[in-house]
Every structure is written in structure tokens, then in C-alpha cells.
A = this chain, B = another copy of it.
Amino acid sequence: MNKNTDIQVGILGATGYTGRELVRVLSNHPKAEIVYLGTSSAQGKPYGFVYPELLGSPLGDLIMEDESSVPEVDVLFCAVPHGIMASRVAELLARGIRIIDLGADFRLKDPAKYRQWYGEGLDLSDPDHPDPDNLSQAVYGLTEIYREDIAAGSLIANPGCYPTSALLPLIPLLANGLIEHDPIVIDAKSGVSGAGRTPSARTHYCQVEDNFQVYGIDGHRHMPEIEQELSFAAGASICVSFTPHLVPMVRGMMATIYTRIRKDSKVGETDLRHCWQNAYQDVAFVRVMSPGVWPMSKHAFGSNNLYMQVRVDERTGLVVIVSVLDNLVKGASGQAVQNMNVMFGLPEKTGLEMLSLWP
């Protein structure tokens, strides 16, 4: 563990799936070193106690510590359940630790929405969010959109996986006035790892396998996050129809999005593609596929890439957009490391150029 590193890294919630994925991604990073693995369940044990395949490697032998005892790291990745970081970041920021929160506590700018969507089970007396000051300072960590703010930020609210898959294709189209604001239908499909490591009836193998499920149809927490960012992009209040589904696979996500070309515009499929190409021309991880080639979720498996494609259906006048990503990489831990790179002035791709696995 004697890399010539610039960045000392800590991880809270190291034993969860996104924690494990941070370890995988950072193990390949030339400028970052993990020096702290925080856990609420396995303090004093080596990381390999939970992930025995890593025993015998430096990270597998690293002893996990209590989540309360964060050392003087340069950056802390937080992969803990929502409700915890909301009241912890103030003290950590005061110590000069920069924070990348993979949870949801600092994503919704409106405290009332935080209470509405995440308040259940939390003790939110008044105000609606435990730390409204830092909430207002937090930067939404959608790297390609907020790169400059991220570079200057101390507290990054890393986006959810579904929002990442929907926002990256839609934001440029809305910002450039190419599509209507209504309807925007997001029919999203996710692998099971997005549901986390805690066993439940919903994630039981026999419930998931050979099965395709819809859920959260009465309102999923990622919907207000999507609407917030689309509204920013459009400069108007946007309402989406968002329906998530569960696919019998471990990793991967697809969003199939239905919307309309802006009325009275003469925009066509080519214009939509050009808009994307302009928006993402210098961007490593957003890939507009060649005409006629459609992304499948496995294209992104294990990589930090998001792939997208678009078609305008002349018959119905609808625009059909498909985007895919790996929910644990670009949808979580990979994007978090991408944000770290931006924060520390490194090339954005540093440590993130691993190719996807096929098959």
C-alpha cells in the first residue's frame, strides 16, 4: 500500500455493493489510495472477512473500522442508507474532508421534497432537512452536466442510477428546446444489485429468476430527482411518467424514453443526434451509438460508459430514446470516482478506462 498517491480515500459503508464496487474501481486508480473502510457491522475485521476473494491482497487485508471514526482523508465516499449523512456532513466538512455522497440526502434541493420522499422513518422535526445550509451548497454530481461546480465543490450528491440513465440523454434535448415538455415517459429497467445487499422477499432468487416485475408505480424516489434536473434544464417545471421494472439480472439498466419533437420545429432525428454529439463531444463516458445500432444493457457491464440511441417514429410523431449503463458503475461508484477526478484536477478518465466484460 505504498503507491505514490496524491489522494487519501475513505469509504463509509464499505461492505455494501456500491462500497465493494468503489474498492474495485479505486484498486485500479493510479492516484488514489484507500486508507479507511468504515463499517457498522464488521469493525476490526479485515475487508476479506466479508469478501473472502480479496483476502491476501492489500485491500482484502485492510482492517475495517467503525463508521464513527473517520480519519483525516482527502475525500470520503459515503455509501450508507439515506438519513445518516444528512446530519454528519457538517462536522466532516468542517474538518476539511471533501465528501462524495452516494446516498440521497443531498440530491433534492427542496427540503420539503426531502421530507416527502425520504422522511418516513426519519425524525425530521423542523426544518424539513437536518442540514439545509449544506443542502443548498451541495453539487449534484452528474459529472457531464455540472463539471465546473463539482471541481469547486466540497459536497457532491452523487446521482441515482435511474436519474443518470434518463438525464444524460434528455438534458441536452430539453436545454436546446428540441423536445416537448409533455409527455415524457420513462420506462426503466434495472438489474437487482440496485436493491442492495440486504436480503428481502423482493430479492429472493426464486422471486426474481424467470420473472419480470414492475414496481414503484405509485411513485419512486428517483422521480423527483429526475424532475428537478429536467426542470433546471428546460427552465420550466417538468412532470415525467416514470415506471421502474426489475430484470432478472445482477447488473445493468436500460431506460426506454418516449417523448415528442417540439411542435412547429422542423427538427428531425439527425438534429437530435447532433445535439447529443455537441453536448458530449469531449466526453469520455457518454457514447452516442452509430445509426441503426441499439444499446443493450450488457454493453456497459463493468464499465463506466453510458450508451444511447434515438429514433423518431414518423408514424406516431414520437421520439424513442434508449440509454443503458451499469447501475453500479456509471450509476453509482464509477461516477463517484469520476467526480473525485474532477474535484482533484485529474483527467476525468483516470482509473476508469476499464473495458466492459463480454460476455
User: Which residues of A are at the interface with B, using a C-beta cutoff of 8 A?
Assistant: 17, 20-21, 23-24, 27-28, 51-57, 59, 182-183, 185, 187, 189, 191-193, 197, 199-201, 203-215, 217-218, 239-241, 243, 245, 247-252, 254, 256, 258, 287, 289-290, 293-303, 305, 307, 311, 313, 315-316, 318, 320, 322, 324, 353-359
In the docked arrangement, what's the CA distance between A294 and B301, Å? 27
Contacting A215 at CB < 8 Å: which of B205, B209, B243, B294? B294
Task: Known contacts A298-B210, A302-B302; decide if A240 and B52 are in contact (CB<8 Å).
Answer: no
Task: Known contacts A210-B252, A250-B205, A297-B211; decide if A199 and B197 are in contact (CB<8 Å).
Answer: no
- Least CB distance from A191 to B in Å reads 8
- Least CB distance from A160 to B in Å reads 18
Whether the pair B358, A298 counts as a contact (CB closer than 8 A) is no
Chain B residues with CB under 8 Å of A320's CB are 217, 241, 243
- Least CB distance from A224 to B in Å reads 11
In the docked arrangement, what's the CA distance between A215 and B297, Å? 12
- Least CB distance from A29 to B in Å reads 12
Chain B residues with CB under 8 Å of A51's CB are 358
Determine the residue in chain B with the shortest Cβ distance to A359. Answer: B206
Whether the pair B311, A218 counts as a contact (CB closer than 8 A) is yes
Task: Known contacts A258-B185, A316-B183; decide if A212 and B297 are in contact (CB<8 Å).
Answer: yes
Pull 13 A–B residue pairs with CB atoms less than 8 Å apart, ordered by A.
A21-B358, A24-B356, A56-B287, A59-B355, A203-B204, A203-B205, A205-B248, A209-B248, A209-B250, A211-B297, A241-B316, A247-B247, A251-B357
